[in-house]
A and B are shown apart, each in its own frame.
Chain A
Amino acid sequence: MTNLIDLTLNELVIKIKSKEISSKDITSVYIERSKSSKKLNTYIEETFDDALKNSEKFDAKPNFDKKLAGIPFAVKDLFCTKNVRTTASSKILENFVPTYESTVTQNLWDAGAILLGKLNCDEFAMGSSNETSFFGNVINPIDDNLVPGGSSGGSASALAAKLTPATIGTDTGGSIRQPASFTGTVGLKPTYGCCSRYGIVAFASSLDQAGPMTRDVKDCSLLLEVISSFDPKDSTSVDFKRPNYSLNLNKNIKGKKIGIPKEYRVDGMPSEIEKLWEKGKEFLKDCGAEIIDISLPHTNYALPTYYIVAPAEASSNLARYDGVKYGFRAEGENLIDMYEKTRSQGFGDEVKRRIMIGTYVLSSGYYDAYYLKAQKVRKLIKNDFDEAFNKVDAILTPSTPSSAFKIGEKTDDPISMYLNDIFTVPVNLAGLPGISIPAGLDKKGHPLGLQLIGKAFDEQGILDIAYSMEEKINFKLNTKDWWIK
């Protein structure tokens, strides 16, 4: 018999619905495995006892009509969960217990999923390696000295190590797709407005989106269907009829036009990634798609634009952490002193750096030179995509300019860390959907991903293309459970 943890989300749902296994069976298996995988440091908060009780409750009165009937599920600790501590991996929220639930996680529980716990991430989702977390580094199950990527590093690591059948992350500049690429898993950032931002600890509100992280493309389409909904509580939530992504999923991509942007060939990119990209093109041709060379001329300016827009929005969003309303407070001689000490002791270095960048670019005398300039360049970047999508249905690029790097390798040089997101950031700036799928291994045996970028709200289009590529690529993640105690 196949090991239960090897089953995909879709396979698990079928087994539970056919009563081959109970929710408690599978929940227990995942709890045991998570307990013996502490070395990876993926969990910040474990809700194992409640999960067991909830699985028993499900089994006593099962509702098999639900899409995630009785499925145990761990989520990134950036989603507020009612009565369950939510930290955003920050000391400043170390003791924060929300009195409300994020819409996206509520959608999971409404679909029958059961919370296993909250997963580590970069502090306030600011980072590309999970090294900025107050709760310590997360280890990539591929190798014990590798980062899992970030900011959804705990989610990616837990998924690749099979500590949860699937998970969700958030993506502001690549925080779902880059860790998915580093761990050999599938990650999708939906179109801005597709998933509600209500109850997600805010980082950069014009860029943040929640999205599914899964073992394969079919699971990804099922999970997207569950979490995506129109929500009046999020003023930027878009009211459109959500398709049944998993039912519609198909491999017929004959005649689809796929763009290859020449600007994504960057200096110093390993030849392996170039080769993988070529192979991706061949696979697409084999499936009957047409490859078209395109240009996204402002690609190079996306990262500097992002590092104005995102910190500016963050500095404003994080102004709420003042030692008055949430958890941590440092004592001070007066109110201002209390604010300054609370924020100095409560935030980590990367978060402070970004708040200060944001404060500076919004400050009197600098607004036009930086923030307004960035908004204008953001428009040019969006125009590039609009023009490209007049000619093509989707765009194929590498997900990242390298495979997973070593812990500590980039922590001293912020810009080299930021460059990790060079292929993912433009997608957030333009508000488009993007999916990263595992495409192969480099010579060190580390996974590499390819990214498909779609037109706004054409998640189905890129899921279908990813689905057909996945079959051709036939990627197998072969971790050896070395971390299990």
Chain B
Amino acid sequence: MSIDLKTVKHISKLSKISIDDQKAKKLEKDLNSIFKWIEQLNQLNTDKVEPLTSIAEATLRFRKDQIISKNIRDDVLKNSPKDNKDYFVVPKVIE
């Protein structure tokens, strides 16, 4: 199966990464060669194999439902490119 230019642009939309036509063509070539290589997995019959979803076989731990970090608003906002002291600021979404 091959990935066409339209699909590349669709993936770029889903990934929220804008690409120009030149980049899209390069990606089309790269992704096709990578997926052609990946498709050797289809040589294996895995119908009766359980997927490995986690390498750590233990079940997740429970913890107490309590707040550990308090008053860290300034810390949380510290690295934002734009904020107004209380909130992150983004381009206007609602008219």
**Measured between alpha carbons, how far is A379 from B82 in the docked complex, in Å?**
45
Shortest distance from the beta carbon of A50 to any chain B beta carbon, whole Å: 19
Interface residues of A in 80-115 (CB under 8 A from B): 95-97, 99-100
Q: Which residues of B contact A340 (CB under 8 A)?
A: 16-18
Chain B: which residue is nearest A340 at the CB level?
B18
The answer to whether A431 touches B14 (Cβ under 8 A) is no
Shortest distance from the beta carbon of B24 to any chain A beta carbon, whole Å: 10
The answer to whether B31 touches A356 (Cβ under 8 A) is yes
Interface residue tally for chain B (C-beta within 8 Å): 49
Q: Which residues of A contact B75 (CB under 8 A)?
A: 99-100
Q: Is A327 in contact with chain B by the CB < 8 A criterion?
A: yes
Shortest distance from the beta carbon of B2 to any chain A beta carbon, whole Å: 12
* A356 and B53 contact, Cβ closer than 8 Å, known pairs A99-B78, A325-B80: no
Shortest distance from the beta carbon of B61 to any chain A beta carbon, whole Å: 7
The answer to whether A353 touches B30 (Cβ under 8 A) is yes
Interface segment out of the listed A57-65, A138-146, A180-188, A369-377: A369-377
The answer to whether A308 touches B38 (Cβ under 8 A) is yes
Interface segment out of the listed A121-129, A278-286, A329-337, A403-411: A329-337
Q: Which residues of B contact A430 (CB under 8 A)?
A: 55
Interface residues of B in 1-32 (CB under 8 A from A): 3, 7-8, 11-12, 14-19, 27, 30-31
The answer to whether A347 touches B63 (Cβ under 8 A) is no
Partner of B88, one of A193, A325, A344: A325
**Measured between alpha carbons, how far is A344 from B16 in the docked complex, in Å?**
8
Q: Is A307 in contact with chain B by the CB < 8 A criterion?
A: yes
The answer to whether A344 touches B17 (Cβ under 8 A) is yes
**Measured between alpha carbons, how far is A344 from B88 in the docked complex, in Å?**
21
The answer to whether B61 touches A235 (Cβ under 8 A) is yes
Chain A: which residue is nearest B88 at the CB level?
A324
Interface residues of A in 368-396 (CB under 8 A from B): 370, 372-380, 382
Interface residues of B in 51-95 (CB under 8 A from A): 51-56, 58, 60-61, 63, 72, 75-76, 78-82, 88, 90-93
Interface residues of A in 317-333 (CB under 8 A from B): 319, 322-329, 332-333
* A376 and B18 contact, Cβ closer than 8 Å, known pairs A235-B60, A325-B79, A414-B34: no
Please name the 5 residue pairs, one residue from A and one from B, whose CB atoms are nearest each other, closest first. A375-B51, A431-B55, A376-B46, A340-B18, A379-B52
